[in-house]
Amino acid sequence: MANFSVTASSNANLIGMMFGSSSNRNNLDGLSDMYSVLSASTSDYNLIKSGSYRKLLKAYYTKTEEGERAQSSHKLPSKETDTTTALLDAKSSAEKVTKSLDKLSNKTLYKSTGRAEDGTAKYDKDKIAGAVKEFVNSYNSFLDSTDDLNSPNVLKKTLNAVKATAKNENMLADIGITIGADNKLSLDEDKLKNANVSKVSSLFSGAGSYGSTVSNYAKESYRISNSTVYTNTHASSYSSKGSYSMLGQSGYINSYL
């Protein structure tokens, strides 16, 4: 009899939530919303580690039919812990991306150096091209450094950077930057030097620009990689003044965090 009472009470509560007062229905709605969020998070998690990471990125942006992409299998992330070397490499690559984008966000890079004979403004296009080339190389190294990581948090930041790049594909192409099948960037320096300088500036400088967006993802990737290294190694140090510091933090990146 006692068991029956518990079961009946549980069923009564469930029925009450479904058909009772508006307050109970609100509670049920809240549970439904929570379930939706958890389901979305799980889907995101599986998406990030679907097969090899490079295959995921390639599949995400390769111009194929939606039905073909939907056939790819989903695997749970490996339980293997990333090595300290791999995490430090990812952290270093993320910092290089940030530094290269800082150079491209500097408005002085796009200041006129004078006037040509026809009256048009002149710019130091070699300097601009050098800064863009540095970004392209650091971005590609960043993708390589995170390719074999198991950390879903780092991979998600990298995927977000790749998505931001894809969204700006046309504008990047206008200044000589193209996206390959492996999501790496290629630079046509001649096309870049002949491009309108204002297009380069609008892409890489200012809040909300492409450069600012990718820089933010790189900083977050740096922070996560550094934190994971610390967690895995439990490494820490104390300064001569007794202050605590985390392993391998960069003063450059710390100024942004």
Tell me the pLDDT tens digit for each residue of 75-121.
Answer: 334 445 788 999 999 999 999 999 999 999 999 999 999 998 888 89
Of 47, 70, 93, which residue sits at a domain end? 70
Q: Are residues 177 and 91 in the same domain?
A: yes
Comparing 77 with 156, which gets the higher pLDDT? 156
Does 175 fall in a domain?
A: yes
Domain range for 110 is 84-254
pLDDT at 71 over 70: no
Length in residues, the chain: 257
In percent, how much of the chain has pLDDT > 70? 60
DSSP state of 237: E
Q: Are residues 142 and 28 in the same domain?
A: no
Q: Are residues 127 and 243 in the same domain?
A: yes
**Least confident stretch, 3-7, 151-155, 213-217:** 3-7
Q: Are residues 8 and 113 in the same domain?
A: no
Secondary structure element (H or E) that encloses residue 70, with its range: helix 66-70
Q: Are residues 55 and 89 in the same domain?
A: no
Model confidence band, residue 212 (pLDDT cutoffs 50, 70, 90): very high
Q: Are residues 60 and 179 in the same domain?
A: no
Of 43, 70, 97, which residue sits at a domain end? 70
- What digits encode the pLDDT tens for the residues 20-40? 444 444 554 554 454 444 444
Q: Are residues 167 and 61 in the same domain?
A: no
Q: How far apart are the first and last CA of the chain?
A: 61
Does 7 fall in a domain?
A: yes
Comparing 205 with 82, which gets the higher pLDDT? 205
- CB-based contact 57:72 (threshold 8 Å): no
- CB-based contact 236:246 (threshold 8 Å): yes
Comparing 222 with 247, which gets the higher pLDDT? 222
What is the tally of structural domains in the chain? 2
Q: Are residues 8 and 118 in the same domain?
A: no
Average pLDDT over residues 209-214: 98
- CB-based contact 93:214 (threshold 8 Å): no
Q: Return the pLDDT at 234.
A: 65
Q: Are residues 171 and 194 in the same domain?
A: yes
pLDDT at 135 over 60: yes
b (16+ CB within 10 A) / e for 1-34: eeeeeeeeeeeeeeeebeeeeeebeeeeeeeeee
Q: Are residues 122 and 244 in the same domain?
A: yes
- CB-based contact 213:164 (threshold 8 Å): yes
Comparing 80 with 71, which gets the higher pLDDT? 80
List % helix, strand, coil for the chain (3-state, nearest 5): 65, 5, 25
Does 77 fall in a domain?
A: no
Q: Return the pLDDT at 97.
A: 98
Q: Are residues 32 and 140 in the same domain?
A: no
Q: What is the mean pLDDT of the chain?
A: 75
Does 76 fall in a domain?
A: no
Does 79 fall in a domain?
A: no
Does 117 fall in a domain?
A: yes
Does 195 fall in a domain?
A: yes
Q: Return the pLDDT at 36.
A: 46
Model confidence band, residue 147 (pLDDT cutoffs 50, 70, 90): confident
Q: Return the pLDDT at 250.
A: 56
Closest CA to 18 of 32, 7, 4, 6: 32
Does 203 fall in a domain?
A: yes
Q: Are residues 45 and 93 in the same domain?
A: no
